[in-house]
Amino acid sequence: MRILVVYYSRTGTTARVAEQVARRLDADLECIGDRTPRDGWRGWLRCAYEAMRARTGPVSSSGRDPSRYDLVVIGTPIWGGVLATPVRSWIARHHEVLDDLGMFCTCGASDGERAIAELTRLAGTPPRAALVLRHDQLRRGVPVEALDVFAAALAPPPPPPARPAWTARPDAQPRA
C-alpha cells in the first residue's frame, strides 16, 4: 500500500507530527509550500484573517501526485478555529483524487473537531481515521500513544496467514 503524508506547518509543530506519522506508516512525506509571507506578527494576523475568510492562495509542493497513492494523510495547523489557508488550497487542487484519507490537526484550543469536519467537507470523503492534538499535549512532546493508535487505524490490515497447500482444494487430504 502506497501512503502519502502531506502537511503544512508554519511553526514546525505540525511538521514534527507529520514526520512521526510518516515514519510509523512507512509513507512518503510532502510539505505544502506556501508562497505567501507569514513571518512575524503581521504574518500571524494574515494567517488568521485568511483562514477565517476561507481564502485559498498559491501553494507549491514537491510534485508528488496524490492520485498515485492508496491513502493520503493530510496534516494541518488550525488558524482562528479553521484550516490553514495552504492546506485549503492544496485540497482545492487535489480533492477529485482523494478517495482514501486520514487527517490530523494541531490546534491551540478545542477547534480541532470542527476543522476535521471542514477538511472532510472540502475533500468530499470521510477520513479512515482522524487525530486532533492540542498544543498543551504537544508541549511535552508528540504523544506516542495517540500516534500509535492513529497509525494503527490507518495501516493496512495484515495479510491473512498462508494456508497449507493441501487445503487449496476442498477434496484434498494431507499426505501421511
CATH code for position 100:
3.40.50.360
Instruction: Give the β-pairing of 33-34 and 59-60.
Output: antiparallel
Contact 21, 103 (CB under 8 A): no
Mean pLDDT for 22-43 is 80
Using DSSP's 3-state secondary structure scheme, residue 72 falls into strand
Give the confidence band of 73 by pLDDT, cuts at 50, 70, 90: very high
Cα Rg of the chain (Å, integer): 20
Q: Which is more confident, 152 or 50?
A: 152
Mean pLDDT for 59-80 is 84
- On whether residue 51 sits in a domain, the answer given is yes
Site of grid cell 504523544: 143
- Per the structure, the complete domain to which residue 141 belongs is given by 3-167
List residues bridging with 5 in a β-sheet. Answer: 29, 73
- On whether residue 175 sits in a domain, the answer given is no
- On whether residue 87 sits in a domain, the answer given is yes
Using DSSP's 3-state secondary structure scheme, residue 79 falls into strand
- On whether residue 45 sits in a domain, the answer given is yes
Contact 121, 115 (CB under 8 A): no
DSSP 152: H
At 94, the amino acid letter reads H
Q: What is the per-residue pLDDT across 154-163, written as a single tens digit (0 to 9) for each?
A: 987 666 777 6
Which secondary-structure segment (H or E) carries 133? strand 129-134
Give the number of other Cβ atoms within 10 Å of residue 1's Cβ. 13
Instruction: Provide the domain count of the chain.
Output: 1
- Closest by CA to 21, choosing from 125, 107, 143, 121, is 143
- On whether residue 172 sits in a domain, the answer given is no
- On whether residue 174 sits in a domain, the answer given is no
Residue 167 pLDDT exceeds 60: no
